Amino acid sequence: MNPTGGHTAARYQIPYARRGSVLDDDEFTALKSVLQHDPTLSGGPWRDKFEAQFAAYAGTRYAMSVTSGTVALEIAIRLLDLRPGDEVVATPQTFQASIQPLLDTPATVRFCDVDPETLNLDPRKLEALITPRTRAIILVHYGGNPAAMQEICAIAARHDVVVIEDCAHALGTTYRGARPGSLGDIGTFSFHSSKNITTLGEGGMITFNRPDWAQRVDRIRNNEVDMTFGPSTGVLGPPPETLPWMKFADGVYGGSCTGILGAGTNATLSEAACAAGTVQLRKLPELVRRRQHIAARLDEVLGEHPQIRLPVVESGNEHAYHLYTFFVTAGADARHALVQALDHRGVEVQLRYFPLHLTPEWQSRGHGPGECPTAERLWFSEHMNLPCHPSLTETQIALLCSALRSSLDEVFGRHRVLSLS
């Protein structure tokens, strides 16, 4: 949302990310190869290659591509087989897609407040929300700053609860030497055009280690019924003689359905998208370094003012800076004035994300103000996001830092923190 209303993105000298990655001749070369040599364009060798390389990157046994990060979350939540009375604990500080699939389930959602230092789910608030009915915890690594996974996973293990990591922000992040997507039970990733790598605008990945989940995900994404199997009933008699590629011979004659868990869908990521993703994954370290370079420049400017607080990155972790976030501790009026000052200087500011428990759909499920006071206080009074994406030029970065410094001086005066160096 544009904070001033009525402005278009074209007016900004320093726009927020429309494309979070960079595409060049390497991707064009891969796409040309697909068009020239891949007769299927769907479910072929590029998908196999992309998934194998992504699994190796994430450190998981399986990485299975789908058409979007939202679809990845939908399928991950389907693996929980939620029933009436089940509960899921979730963070309120994330994009709506992280938990929107839960609206289609009978489960009750319990929102866990966030850590004021990171905007990630706060493990200190988590255990009190766990009950014998809790089936899963859904968290996000907000902005690319990893959540407190050791503490969260220890709580989950004590209560036999599945941990779903929404890793849409987390490509390029490390947590104590490991990568998100391998830290909990299931990881989901987005390759939307705004994310740290893209598969031509849309795409997603699901990571995990369980072979039974791999069988189910493969059926779901390939338009097959998600079901349990038993021995053949023999009702149809012996199978006819068919060519090897006849799809239904084994499925129809080889067994019976003992239970339907859900319908399948077509969630096959195209060969072109997978080819681009393979190239983008190779470029990821360079793209993340660019984000970190921009973040370091912004940290330097913001560090000059005592009214500003930066998120805490735990020692041993690496922040990927999908979002660049900071906090204005002088209150809502000061935050609003800073947003306006930056907007007038051509810097597009975003406030991400509105606390989900306060949205109309979740209020209709019984949630409301006061449920997550830290998330509410920070969003309404303190937190801001600035452009931080690898397509920014050095000239734009310099303009961004200049506009930020001038805006801070306008709002807070020129009394900056003195360097001790």
- Lowest mean pLDDT, pick from 60-74, 232-246, 316-330, 340-354: 232-246
Q: Tell me the C-alpha to C-alpha distance, in Å, between residue 157 and each of 137, 149, 168, 184, 348.
A: 11, 12, 24, 10, 42
Quote the pLDDT of residue 9: 52
Q: What is the pLDDT of residues 328-345, one digit of tens each?
A: 999 999 999 999 999 999
Q: What is the pLDDT of residues 199-251, one digit of tens each?
A: 999 999 999 999 999 999 999 999 999 999 999 888 888 877 766 666 666 77
Taking residues 359-377, what's their average pLDDT?
98
Q: Is the pLDDT of residue 414 over 90?
A: no
Q: Which has the closest alpha carbon to 77: 226, 201, 197?
A: 226
Q: What is the pLDDT of residues 87-131, one digit of tens each?
A: 999 999 999 999 999 999 999 999 999 999 999 999 999 999 999
The first and second tokens of residue 339, run together, are: 């947003």
- At 233, phi and psi to the nearest 5? -80, -20
Could you give the CA distance from residue 93 to residue 60 in angstroms, rounded to a whole number? 26
The DSSP secondary-structure symbol of 347 reads B
Quote the pLDDT of residue 39: 86
- Residue 415: which pLDDT band, with cuts at 50, 70 and 90? low
With a pLDDT cut of 70, the percent of the chain lying above it is 94
Residues 6+ positions from 197 with CB-CB distance below 8 Å: 21, 171, 191, 277, 280, 281, 283, 284, 287
The first and second tokens of residue 26, run together, are: 């390497």
> Mean pLDDT of all residues in the chain?
94
Q: Is the backbone of residue 293 left (phi > 0), alpha (psi -120 to 50) or beta?
A: alpha
Q: Is the pLDDT of residue 5 over 70?
A: no
With a pLDDT cut of 90, the percent of the chain lying above it is 87
Taking residues 180-200, what's their average pLDDT?
98
The first and second tokens of residue 159, run together, are: 């209560």
Sequential DSSP letters for 274-299: HHHHHHHHHHHHHHHHHHHHHHHHHH
Q: Whose structure tokens read 């920014």?
A: 392
